[in-house]
Amino acid sequence: MPITSKEVLATMFGVNPGIVWSFINKPDRHYRKFSIPKGKGKRSILAPKVGLKVIQKWISYQLQGKARFPDHVFGFVPGRSHIDAAVRHTSARWVYSIDLEDFFPSTPRSLIASSLCSFGYDFKSSELISKLSCYDGGLAQGAPSSPVLSNIAMFEVDTALAELAEELGIRITRYADDITFSSEGVYPSSLPERLSTIFYSTPWKISKKKTYFSVAPKRMKVHGLIVNCGEVKLTKGYRNKLRAYRHVLQSGLCKKEDACRLEGHLNYYSQVIKHRDSST
């Protein structure tokens, strides 16, 4: 990826170098800020405007083509999904999962730049890519380049997590900021402390509110799916919602603006069922 300067990038995209300078130094002009519902709260989104978004998409495409991530990483990796990740835990006796607080914004630009250098890019390219992809010192929540860059930044931590899982003889999957461990054997009581040690010297913090532990036959939830009884399935609450969505669509009473959203939920259900049937 031959990005060595703002001028080279401007030439590649046929824009004035001043525009690229503005992307880096006047980011407020090039993002649209809004919030979306997230559980009981809201998530702040920084959506890049067209000019910057095109460049970020190109950066993402180039990096995805070169990147190779560990087998336990499922988020933002082509050909892998959270359903694939959940399937790995279907034979578990127990599951333990952690979430990282404000994953994208807490991933600092300096780490992005240094990780890109370790990934094989020179200093100038790494600095330029990181500046074009970050907002207020961290990855922008909403930029198309943030997912792959977060995986690159997590590489050393992923290595440590995989080594810990191997040492303890347990499974691990990571989908973005959702990290899950499981096993058919005895739960290692040292796991939470060992994880705290791994993340202590990183910019990421483990969310105490979202730490989760469950032992069969109690419900075991992994990456949003239930993994009891040797298969993945949706939660009971979500299945009830889907029945209501299907009824609304079949009744013909659904507003046009809502139909695509409801159909999207039903398509997701079909994906889970298809994946479950194909693995049996």
pLDDT in tens, the chain (280 residues): 557 678 888 888 888 889 999 999 999 999 999 888 776 777 788 999 999 999 999 999 999 988 899 999 999 999 999 999 999 999 999 999 999 999 999 999 999 999 999 988 999 999 999 999 999 999 999 999 999 999 999 999 999 999 999 999 999 999 999 999 999 999 999 999 999 999 999 999 999 999 999 999 999 999 999 999 889 999 999 999 999 999 888 888 788 778 888 999 999 989 898 877 676 5
Radius of gyration of the chain, Cα coordinates, nearest whole angstrom: 21
Q: In whole angstroms, what is the distance from residue 244 CA to residue 61 CA?
A: 38
Q: Give the torsion sign (CA, 192, 174, 107, 139).
A: negative
Give the start-to-end residue ranges of the domains of the chain.
Answer: 6-83+95-218, 228-278
The structure tokens listed for 98 are 């952690």
Please, are residues 44 and 33 in contact by the beta-carbon 8 Å criterion? yes
The structure tokens listed for 173 are 């999957």
Peptide bond into 27 cis (omega under 30): no
Tell me the whole-structure pTM to 2 decimals: 0.91
